[in-house]
Amino acid sequence: MPAISIWKGVAPCFRGRMRIASRCMAVCFALFQYASVHAQTISPVIVEYTGKAEGKFQLTNDGLTPLAVVLEPSSFSVGLNGKPVFRPLDPTIHLGLSTMSFQLQPKQTYYIFYKAHADTLPAWFTVRAIFSGIQRADGAKVRIILPHTVYLYQKKAVAQNEIHVQHVAYLTSTDTVVCDLENVSSSLIRVQDVNVTGGKSSVPAQGFPLLPGSPRHLEIPWKQPNPPNYINLRFPTFVMKEHLSIEDK
């Protein structure tokens, strides 16, 4: 009887420890999965050429499991907020890749070589690398997509008067600087960087390509003590300095 009473007292504790151990194992597995998902890289992410392209990019698997990789060339448009919308590669873009699929072993780096040209310039496309083979605890396979984006520029530069800035303001209700601009030309240009300044404070923002005939809406958080005064948009051959109006919306 004493032995039975002791076992009854120990069993719930043992079961509790087993539950804790199982949860710890699940957390560790989830962390392992998170690390595996974030252990794949592509480099470089963006490249730019004038006319034709002849380049390479590398894919690295820093994880502990082998992966299957499929390359998917795509054309894309860019929305007002800067997010891409993908579609099949335009027939006017001619792209040759050294391979379309391969196995990427743990700790391996693989190089993809390519050549590209377009019937008309400018042109742009993305090669999306689709990784698969990682399996979650629930049995579902995880797919990771990493892009390598190529811009083919025309030779003629975009003039400053072909960039229209329509609305530049500091919104006090949200502490946000907004800027609406549009490339009204038929050429491609890059905004190399953006900088908002107020007094001695300055907040930078990343640059981006401005596609032909495309508008873009920027929203830049401003958490500085003084209100901002102006925004600088730096292009390859000129800088646009726009003073900010103050709005309460």
Domain identity same for 123 and 216: no
The residues pairing with 201 across neighbouring beta strands, listed in sequence order, are 198
The tens digit of pLDDT for each residue in 201-235 reads 999 999 999 999 999 999 999 999 899 999 999 99
Residue 35 lies in a domain: no
Domain identity same for 50 and 116: yes
What is the enclosing helix (H) or strand (E) of 21?
Answer: helix 2-37
Domain that holds residue 93: 41-153
When pLDDT is cut at 50, 70 and 90, the band that residue 33 belongs to is: very low
- Residue 177's CB: how many other CB atoms inside 10 A? 24
Which position has the higher pLDDT, 53 or 140? Answer: 53
What is the enclosing helix (H) or strand (E) of 133?
Answer: strand 123-135
114 within 8 A of 98, measured Cβ to Cβ: yes
Residue 166 lies in a domain: yes
Q: Is 219 helix (H, G, I), strand (E, B) or coil?
A: strand
pLDDT of residue 160: 98
Domain identity same for 112 and 128: yes
Residue 145 lies in a domain: yes
Q: What angle do CA 53, 57, 62 make, to 5 degrees?
A: 170
Which position has the higher pLDDT, 215 or 2? Answer: 215
Residue 143 lies in a domain: yes
When pLDDT is cut at 50, 70 and 90, the band that residue 18 belongs to is: very low
pLDDT, mean over the chain: 87
The residues pairing with 191 across neighbouring beta strands, listed in sequence order, are 208
When pLDDT is cut at 50, 70 and 90, the band that residue 36 belongs to is: very low
d(CA 131, CA 203): 36
Domain identity same for 62 and 142: yes
When pLDDT is cut at 50, 70 and 90, the band that residue 136 belongs to is: low
Q: Is the pLDDT of residue 39 over 90?
A: no
Q: What is the pTM of this model?
A: 0.81
pLDDT of residue 198: 96
Domain identity same for 144 and 242: no
Domain identity same for 99 and 190: no
Domain identity same for 96 and 134: yes
Spatial strand order of the sheet with 108-118 comes to 40-43, 53-61, 108-118, 93-97
CATH number, domain containing residue 184 = 2.60.40.1930
Residue 193 lies in a domain: yes
Which position has the higher pLDDT, 30 or 132? Answer: 132
When pLDDT is cut at 50, 70 and 90, the band that residue 32 belongs to is: very low
Token digits of residue 245: 């109006």
pLDDT of residue 188: 98
Point out the domain boundary residue: 135, 153, 171: 153
Domain identity same for 187 and 132: no
Domain identity same for 173 and 131: no
The tens digit of pLDDT for each residue in 67-108 reads 999 999 999 999 999 999 999 999 999 999 999 999 999 999
